[in-house]
Amino acid sequence: MSSKAKVRKEILMGNQALGRGLVENGVAVMTAYPGTPSSEILPSVVHYGAEMKHPPYCEWSVNEKVAVEVALSSAYTGQRSAVAMKMVGLNVALDPVMSAAYIGVIGGMILISADDPGPHSSQTEQDSRLLAHFAKLPVFDPDSPAMARDLVGPAFALSERFQIPVMIRPTLRVCHGRQNLNLREPKELERAPVFQRDPFRWAAIPKMRLALHHALNAKLAKIQDYVSKSKSLNKWHAPLRPRAPLGILASGVSAALARDVLAELGLPVGEGKVPFLQTAAPYPLPVGPVSELIAGCRNVLVLEETEPVLELLAPRRDQLWGRASGHVPSAGELTPEVLGEVLERALGEAKLKAPRPRGKMLTVPDQPPMRRPNLCPGCSHRAVFYSLRRALPTGVYPSDIGCYTLGMNQGAVDTCHDMGAAVTFASALSRSLNQAGDETPVVATIGDSTFFHSGITGLVNAVYNGSRFVLVILDNETTSMTGMQPTPESGLTADGHPGQAVDIKKLVEGCGVRWLTELDPYQMGDLQKTLKKAWRWCKSPEGSVAVIIARHACAAQRPKDAVATPCKVEVKGQAAPVKTSFKPKDNPCADCGGCVAVCPVGALTRTGKGKIKVDGAKCTGCRLCAAVCPTGTMVLEPVGACVACGLCSTWFACPALAKDAKGYISIDRGWCVDCGLCAEVCAHGAIAPLEESK
């Protein structure tokens, strides 16, 4: 692609458009931690930055707090910087963000926090604009990829004029929307970085902070005036008209979709029936145009995602129709359907008739069941979760944020809260559950990138405070869920500048962990033995936190390494369902409790010493009890064919294990990657390697 071409029109994803905008406006430092829907912003800066004589410095930071600090202090030197994250990452970064407005910047700094109304890939529907307000930072709210790109220049300009970082808050539909736009040339600012020593500012003590706070408030008043007067940030899609019964105040994607929906209702904004003001700068509120709209209309419908910001900041709230009045739902994405209902109701209450009621649509009664996302076939995490349930079936399994949250499909994820919480939750749960001398194994799972991000502090805390639990670090050497960004372990950097690999094992040792082992989770037998051993050590007198680093290549990133020795498996026919039976006559029960613990459906109960009752109605005939019984008291001979017990589809839950209406399993060749792991799962030996593959 030649950089000499004058006008290049391309269809860009919103995140690419933001990256392009940053390069077109001379960004010199770019940092980020990956998180949907923000992950493609930084790679786009790397990509387009290559067109520059001096490409920007880009880094995947270890977490969002670090990313903000690196970008912020870079802007102290007069260079332009940017940082990108998803909105829950902003929570992690809030500490430096809160001070950033007080202390400010010299070079422009943009903080991109991508929200996820819906939520589609996140824990919360939080609105970053509220945090911008909380941190006293101006925020821009684009409605499309093109607007996102076009706001980068004004954001840098505002940031430098008032020496304050500016937030751009795109939502998922902007980030992962695509739009065709004209690319502009990258801009080279050629600013030499200078650090002006000024400890009263950069290292301000609390007394100085008060002065800075006063200065910030004065600054915000000026910014409010600036955004109020801006024609480009406040767009009247339909101007005020005399005695308008209803006006619309909107920002972000809701402003764009509402215009389309109004057109579908026969009230295109171009005809000017309903005054419509869109602001791209919700905070500080552009009080001039907003007051004008509210003063000129009997009622004003406020459309924004996902929390009321304009609505809370606007004057004369009794005239507003929004979340407080119940006109706009307080949770969920404002899709065209939701907006259609909201607009129809508002138009109706304003005694304005929509010329075209919402169109005819097809409603189909028999909807297919929802598709649950699942780990990829061949993913080693699946082997860990299966082994966990086999080895320590009565355990509690705190987990974390990443692909492996999908271990929930296998019943091996009990908690998922925020980045790093697997480790801290495991510490606390193990202490609570085992203080009465109970033996509830607690096994936490966390991915490698999440461990680097926020797991380490929890581990140091656990070691220091003497917690007893097993931590399995699922190390697939990449950040899979968000698109294979490198982790510190790889030593690869975002833009190819020299980095150094950080060894997880040494890191764990350095945290003071005394029981540590590394293994390949594809060796499921070893893994199960190791898990048991690790837990035994945890509860022993000298025990503490035991760490297992389960390392295997990511099946999506490096499929050939993940399945290094392919093994084609087949289901060896079908047989009638079977049940297990308890036969203590010849082989007395050892009363070990293994069968009761391992039963996936709770069909076995201990009714007395050496006595087990089998609930035939519950028993699926999976044969795990017979497989673990040390004395041969639980009896069920392997059938050598599928008995439709459902064990593999629940505990292993591979998308390649297709289940028919009667519960019999077959291998779906469209999904199967020949990892061969499921052959170890079936206790009846019904899934076996094909002869010819040997």
Partner 1 sequence: MSRLKWQAVVAGVGGQGVLFVSRALASSVEPKAGSILISEVHGMAQRGGAVVSHLKAGPFSGPLVSFGQADLLLALDPGEAVRNLTYLAPKGHLVVNAPDLEFLSPKARKALASFGAQVLTVPATELAGRAGTPKGANVVLLGAAAAVGALPVKLKELERAICEGQPQARAQANQKLLNLGAEAAAQV
Residues in contact with partner 1 by the rule CB under 8 A: 11, 13, 36-37, 39, 120-121, 143-144, 173, 176-180, 253, 255-261, 264, 335-337, 340, 358-368, 370-376, 403, 406, 481-483, 655, 670
Q: How far is the CB of 372 from partner 1 (least distance, A)?
A: 7
Residue with Cβ nearer partner 1 (376 or 472): 376
How many Cβ atoms from other residues are within 10 Å of residue 275's Cβ? 22
| Type of residue numbered 185 | E
Report the alpha-carbon distance of residue 102 to residue 96 in Å, rounded.
11
Cα separation, 210 vs 102, in Å, equals 9
C-beta separation of 236 from 275 below 8 A? yes
Q: Which is nearer to partner 1, 61 or 144 (CB)?
A: 144
72 or 672: CB nearest partner 1: 672
Distance CA(619)–CA(609), nearest Å, equals: 21
Contact predicate 85/64, CB 8 Å: yes
Residue 120 CB, nearest distance to partner 1 (Å)? 6
Give the nearer residue to partner 1 in terms of CB position, either 450 or 633.
450
Cβ nearer to partner 1, comparing 132 with 174? 174
Shortest separation between residue 596's beta carbon and partner 1, angstroms: 33
The residue among 485 and 528 lying less far from partner 1, judged by its C-beta, is 485
The closest of 520, 517, 503 to 545, measured between CA atoms, is 517
Closest separation in Å from C-beta 35 to partner 1: 9
Q: DSSP letters along 441-481, please?
A: -BEEEEEHHHIIIIIHHHHHHHHHTT---EEEEEE-SSBTT
Q: Which is nearer to partner 1, 12 or 310 (CB)?
A: 12
Which is closer to partner 1, CB of 556 or CB of 687?
556
CB of 140 to partner 1, least distance (A): 17
CB 406 to partner 1: min, Å: 7
Cα–Cα distance, 162 to 23 (Å, whole number): 22
Which residue reads 């009321």 in tokens? 308
Shortest separation between residue 483's beta carbon and partner 1, angstroms: 8
Q: How far, in Å, CA of 608 to CA of 693, rounded?
A: 48
- State the minimum distance, in angstroms, from the CB of residue 168 to partner 1: 18
Of 1 and 576, nearer to partner 1 (C-beta) is 1
Least spacing, CB of residue 206 vs partner 1, in Å: 41
The dihedral through the CA atoms of 519, 521, 526, 532 has a sign that is positive
- Closer residue to partner 1, CB minimum distance, 337 or 509: 337
- Closest CB to partner 1 among residues 375, 471: 375
Of the candidates 264, 25, 235, the one whose C-alpha atom is nearest the C-alpha of residue 144 is 235
Residue 63: both structure tokens together: 């977490």
Strands 569-571 and 687-689: antiparallel
The answer for residues whose C-beta is within 8 angstroms of residue 608's C-beta and 6 or more apart is none
Query: Strand, coil or helix: what is 637?
Result: coil
Q: Are 142 and 41 in contact (CB under 8 A)?
A: no
Q: How far is the CB of 48 from partner 1 (least distance, A)?
A: 19
The answer to whether the peptide bond before residue 245 is cis (omega within 30 degrees of 0) is: no
Q: How far apart are CA 278 and CA 622, in angstroms?
A: 61
**CB distance 98 to 135 below 8 Å:** yes
CA 490 to chain centre: 22
Instruction: Look at residues 673, 668, 682 and name the one whose alpha carbon lies nearest to residue 376.
Output: 673
CB of 80 to partner 1, least distance (A): 28
Question: Please, which residue, 258 or 569, has the CB nearer to partner 1?
Answer: 258
Q: Which residue in 158, 61, 151 sits closest to 112, CA to CA? A: 151
- CA 243, CA 245: separation in Å to the nearest integer? 6
Question: Which of 373/685 has CB closer to partner 1?
Answer: 373
Minimum distance of partner 1 from residue 38's CB (angstroms): 10
Q: Quick one: 621 or 655, whose CB is closer to partner 1? A: 655
CA atoms within 13 A on the CB side of 254: 31
Least distance to partner 1 from the beta carbon of 285, Å?
23
Are 321 and 298 spatial neighbours (Cβ–Cβ below 8 Å)? no
Name the minimum Å distance from CB 37 to partner 1: 7
Q: How far apart are CA 405 and CA 446, in angstroms?
A: 9
